[in-house]
Amino acid sequence: MSFRYIDPAGVRTALLERREIALLDVREEEPHAQAHPLFAAHLSLSRLELEVCARLPRCDVPIVTLDDGEGLAERAATRLLELGYTDVAVLTGGVRGWQAAGGEVFRDVNVPSKAFGELVDATRHTPSLSAEAVQSLLDAKADMVVVDVRRFDEYQTMNIPGSINVPGAELVLRVPELAPDPQTRVIVNCAGRTRSIIGAQSLVNAGLPNPVAALRNGTIGWTLAGQPLERGANRRFCPVSEATRVEAAARARRVAERAGVNWIELESLADWKKQEGRTTYFIDVRDPEEYLAGHLPGFRSVPGGQLVQETEMSVSVRGARIVLADTDGVRANMTAAWLAQMAWEVYVLIPPPAAEWNETGAWETPLPPIPDVPKIAPATLAEWLQSTEPPVVIDLTTHANYRRAHIPGAWYALRARYKTALTRLPRASRYVLTCLSGLLGYYSHAEFAALVEGEVYALDGGTNAWKAAGLPLEQTERLASEPLDRYRRPYEGTDNSAEAMQAYLDWEFGLVRQLERDGTHHFRVS
């Protein structure tokens, strides 16, 4: 069995007809962010095995890989066939072929969600306040609460002074307890625009009696206004009363009904879990701590706000079916309402009895079979590194992980760019592959071994096992590959230039026009 080629018109037809298709950009994230079709989900060849089973749960789903002519799409297609996927094609001409055929290309990451957020704002005219106006209210000690709807780690990096972390899907459940007086103003913020818009509009759609507004342009707008941000805050939402939960559930149900959401009982999911003829994703949208304490078997943890913000990273088959679960009927219904408007077929699981939530701990990512390759224990590697002919250690983890700490002397490399990396690596009689878990060393061992004359080993248990053994780490960088695995978002961190932040906002403002030119989205705003 081999892959075939498909032209841009074939992909466009599948999208317009709302057929299932996994359009995968297999480049690293940095080049992906420079230009790609709207529904091209990023899944790099370098990390393919670590994510593919979760993101493509049905083995006969139609898959199309793409790159920009580097040959990565063909390599990824071949690997997917080896992993058992049966309907695999490569986009003819890649990104440039898509453009040449008249297809629209988009910059940045998580573009479908961001474009949808701009469409919501343009359609519903979501109320917003400028950074200067919010600062004036804070200075006047106005009756108001500022809620930051990002992940907690993002919130801790930088936040509006005094704000409280309430991730997006939690808003309708938690804000009534934070602002019980209907006169209290509620300001919703994120780093840029999307989550602020979706969060504020969620409260408006749910009929919260309080005056609600998004912080216009989020922490970017705050920074551009020259206003200080707080660092390291730990204020989080609090538990809610049963009365609040019941009222929030009723509000969320009404929102979901208007959006055309479907509901389903747990007993009806058995056939869908077989992943036969239709791709179905099973997602628990509650706070991760709740998930760890008890969840339904087979459901993955993706908090609802993040699912709406970066949908294609969890649900990579456009046209697939999604089932959402929570214990209260608030988070799932609010999340489902947005996904339905983004043209997903979405169901909310009617919360089953407490006894069904009987799995604890983190979700275990499904993986392809792990190949049997030559391995080396951390203690043995430590001895070898002290010898007169030490091995070359190649770290395949993300560049961010590599920068934090790595095995002394280790080189950073991208698995998809082994050939180029070898032009920079010293020659050796022995090579050792590692990443945090060791998995990338196992999966890519054969590829690397085919390119060198020396012996090749994978570090058993990876760098995590090295750390657990109490062995030393260092931070000195040795780059055998350019660190292209992650695109630097203009809205993250605290050291971005004003020009980059303003350029990002200008780009977001243009997304609605790009959606019109693209024409494949089927978005609607109810």
Query: CA–CA separation, 459 vs 462, rounded Å?
Result: 5
pLDDT confidence tier of residue 464, bands split at 50, 70 and 90: very high
pLDDT confidence tier of residue 449, bands split at 50, 70 and 90: very high
**CA of residue 30 relative to chain centroid, distance:** 15
* DSSP string covering 407-448: -TTPEE--GGGHHHHHTTSPP-SEEEEE-SSSHHHHHTHHHH
Under DSSP, the state recorded for 162 is: T
Q: What pLDDT score does 490 carry?
A: 81
Residue 377 β-bridge partners: none
Token pair recorded at residue 359:
């799995």
R_g over Cα of the chain? 24
Q: What pLDDT score does 132 carry?
A: 98
Q: What pLDDT score does 159 carry?
A: 96
Token pair recorded at residue 164:
């409280």
pLDDT confidence tier of residue 493, bands split at 50, 70 and 90: low
Which residue, 334, 331, 335, 336, is CA-closest to 347? 336
* DSSP string covering 257-272: HHHT-EEE-GGGGTTG
Angle at which helix 48-55 crosses helix 72-82, to 10 degrees, equals 60
Average pLDDT of the residues of the chain:
97
Q: What pLDDT score does 421 carry?
A: 98
Q: What pLDDT score does 458 carry?
A: 98
Three-class DSSP category at 393: strand
CA distances from 344 to 161, 235, 311, 487, 524 (A): 37, 34, 10, 27, 11
Q: Could you read off the pLDDT of 327-383 as tens digits, one per residue?
A: 999 999 999 999 999 999 999 999 999 999 999 999 999 999 999 999 999 999 999
Mean pLDDT of 461-466: 98
CA distances from 114 to 107, 134, 209, 338, 512 (A): 11, 23, 27, 12, 10
Three-class DSSP category at 355: helix
Q: What is the pTM of this model?
A: 0.96
Query: CA–CA separation, 196 vs 168, rounded Å?
Result: 9
| Percent of the chain with pLDDT strictly greater than 90 | 96
The domains of the chain, with CATH numbers, are: 4-111 (3.40.250.10), 122-237 (3.40.250.10), 259-356 (3.40.250.10), 375-468 (3.40.250.10)
Mean pLDDT of 172-191: 98
pLDDT of 124 strictly over 70: yes
> To 5 degrees, how large is the angle CA 361–CA 367–CA 371?
130
Calculated CA dihedral for residues 49, 51, 57, 63, nearest 10 degrees: -70
- Confirm if 213 and 188 have CB atoms less than 8 A apart: yes
Q: What pLDDT score does 489 carry?
A: 87
pLDDT confidence tier of residue 494, bands split at 50, 70 and 90: low
Query: CA–CA separation, 330 vs 176, rounded Å?
Result: 13
Q: Could you read off the pLDDT of 336-350 as tens digits, one per residue?
A: 999 999 999 999 999
Phi first, then psi, for residue 215 (nearest 5°) are -75, 110
Does an H or E element contain 41, and which?
Answer: strand 41-42
- Confirm if 155 and 190 have CB atoms less than 8 A apart: no
Give the CA diameter of the chain.
74
